[in-house]
Amino acid sequence: MRRQAHGRHWRAHRARSEWAAAGAFATAPIRWQGERLMLLLLGAVVAFLSFVVAPGWASVAREGAGSTAESLVPLAIALPSVPPVPPTAAPAAEAIQWTTRTVERGQTLGALFASEGLPAALLHRILESSRHRDALVRIRPGQEFGFLRASDGSLTAFRFDPSDAERGVVRIDGGALREEVEQRVLQRRVATASGRIEHSLFAAADAAGVSDATIMQLANVFGYDVDFAQDLRRGDEFALIYEQVYQEGEKLRDGAILCAVFVNDGRRHVAIRFELGDGRYDYFDLDGRSLRKAFLRTPVEFSRISSRFSAGRMHPVLGRMRAHRGVDYAAPTGTPIRAAGDGKVVFRGWQGGYGNVVILEHGGRYTTLYGHMSRFASDVRVGGRVRQGQTIGFVGMTGLATGPHLHYEFRVGGAHRDPLTVDLPKADPLGGRDLQRFRAVSAPMLAQLELLGARDAVASR
């Protein structure tokens, strides 16, 4: 009985399950349409809430926040006082309003002021008040001057360099002038150069990167032993160590030659700069003997010999044979003439066919004569003394002359001697501690010159 009842129950449950599944399948489309309708209604409600209810809720929130802020109680807290910030100073006009002008050849400071539209009276006041009047009067091409102007164009300051190590500024405030001078630091760097003469000394120097001023200095150093007007030969060589002067990283000029070798026609000459005990500098050879002799070999720099010393020659003006007891150096009119040695002026004036003449006496035994001058140096007077190398006059063609030149005579005890071949007295060599210091100074410089290819020039004498 129990088993039969259980079977009837199982069959009834199975029939109901099949009916339910079939009914669900038949009614499925109806329920899917209803779900779509429900989703549309739900979207409409969300949109209503977003556009209507949410803005109102936001405004209420803001009002609540505002009321909350209004309800805050301020607290009195003592803060340290902050000092007032001073107004920023305006940038100095000097940094942007300075204008620099460079002196051209033949230009004076007066002409420079005129080109700037400045009155000569202002320049006169500056010259009268400045402690560096000489530096302002004796200007040179390439020198720079600065002008600082106010917004109305008036000059408020004038800048100049009295020397490489100084900078001067004249402040102009109405009718008052105030001069300021500051020191400037100079740097000295050591440079080396070497060259070989193929066409001219200056061309060789230019190829080696050496300035004309340094080559002129080289000629002066060896001028007692080498006549640079006539003795130079193709194949002559030079090597030198010299200073270069810098200021604030910018090169100003070449400085002194420290050591040099010059090979002229196979003959080697060495010069070493050395400071003596009294602070003076001079140049010495390898033995410590000063290169400075009592007389210069040539009283006119880089001139051309137009007539030599001879017992008889045809005079170009008189047209007859006549002894020529000196050497003629052809040079442009106005070329400076140097005193061959320290001496006393015993004659200055006109002397027949010599034209304008200066005669110097050197120690009672030697005399030198300089003829055909265009004019005399202003500081040369009879009875006055001159130093070796000092300008005593200028080349001309006064007297019996067919062109500008210097007629130079050299006399020993009243007798004429050939200035090109006469033996000139030598100086005494260094001794004692000076000689020891000289050798210590010269050794490293000579070694450096050897690196320039001058080993033979310094090792052989």
Q: Indicate the number of domains in the chain.
A: 3
Mean per-residue pLDDT for 329-344? 92
Is the confidence at residue 309, as pLDDT, over 80? no
Q: How many residues does the chain have?
A: 461
Higher pLDDT, 75 or 207: 207
For residue 273, give both structure tokens: 């700069």
**Residue 240 neighbours by CB under 8 Å, 6+ apart:** 192, 193, 194, 210, 214, 218, 257, 258, 259, 260, 261, 449
Local confidence band at 65 (pLDDT 50, 70, 90 cut-offs): very low
CA–CA distances in Å: residue 418 to residues 309, 313, 342: 6, 15, 19
Is the confidence at residue 444, as pLDDT, over 50? yes
Residues 316 and 386 occupy one common structural domain: yes
The answer to whether residue 171 sits within a structural domain is yes
Q: Would you say 408 and 368 are in contact if contact means Cβ atoms under 8 Å apart? A: yes
Q: What does the pLDDT read at residue 260?
A: 94
Q: What does the pLDDT read at residue 19?
A: 41
Local confidence band at 80 (pLDDT 50, 70, 90 cut-offs): low
CA quadruple 233, 394, 223, 347: dihedral sign = positive
Residues 286 and 217 occupy one common structural domain: yes
Residue 326 maps to which CATH number? Answer: 2.70.70.10
Is the confidence at residue 77, as pLDDT, over 90? no
The answer to whether residue 98 sits within a structural domain is yes
3-state secondary structure of 10: helix
Q: What does the pLDDT read at residue 256?
A: 94
Q: What does the pLDDT read at residue 447?
A: 86
- Could you tell me the residue range of the domain that residue 380 belongs to? 304-417
Name the CA dihedral angle for 31, 34, 40, 46, rounded to a multiple of 10 degrees. Answer: -90
User: Considering 141, 158, 183, which residue would you say is the last residue of a domain?
Assistant: 183
The answer to whether residue 111 sits within a structural domain is yes
Residues 154 and 232 occupy one common structural domain: no
The answer to whether residue 5 sits within a structural domain is no
Residue 149 maps to which CATH number? Answer: 3.10.450.350
Residues 412 and 309 occupy one common structural domain: yes
For residue 317, give both structure tokens: 């003006």
The answer to whether residue 208 sits within a structural domain is yes
Residues 412 and 435 occupy one common structural domain: no
The answer to whether residue 75 sits within a structural domain is no
Local confidence band at 269 (pLDDT 50, 70, 90 cut-offs): very high
Q: What is the pLDDT of residues 374-389, one digit of tens each?
A: 999 999 999 999 999 8
Residues 109 and 145 occupy one common structural domain: yes
Q: Which amino acid is at 353?
A: G
Residues 170 and 154 occupy one common structural domain: yes
What mean pLDDT value characterizes the chain?
A: 79
User: Considering 140, 159, 183, which residue would you say is the last residue of a domain?
Assistant: 183
Residues 139 and 207 occupy one common structural domain: no
Is the confidence at residue 75, as pLDDT, over 50? no
The answer to whether residue 52 sits within a structural domain is no
φ/ψ bin of 408: left (φ > 0), alpha (ψ from -120 to 50), beta (otherwise): beta
For residue 141, give both structure tokens: 């091409």
Spatial distance between the Cα atoms of 451 and 445, rounded to a whole number of angstroms: 10
Q: What is the pLDDT of residues 406-432, one digit of tens each?
A: 999 999 988 889 888 888 777 668 888
Residues 340 and 385 occupy one common structural domain: yes
CA–CA distances in Å: residue 306 to residues 249, 340, 402, 405: 46, 19, 11, 8
Q: What does the pLDDT read at residue 270?
A: 93
User: Considering 160, 183, 206, which residue would you say is the last residue of a domain?
Assistant: 183
Q: Would you say 349 and 435 are in contact if contact means Cβ atoms under 8 Å apart? A: no
Q: What is the pLDDT of residues 170-211, one digit of tens each?
A: 999 877 899 988 888 888 999 999 999 998 899 999 999 999
Q: What does the pLDDT read at residue 203?
A: 92
Q: What is the pLDDT of residues 137-181, one digit of tens each?
A: 888 888 889 999 888 888 899 999 888 888 889 999 877 899 988
Residues 245 and 267 occupy one common structural domain: yes
Is the confidence at residue 448, as pLDDT, over 50? yes
The answer to whether residue 367 sits within a structural domain is yes
Q: What does the pLDDT read at residue 43?
A: 65
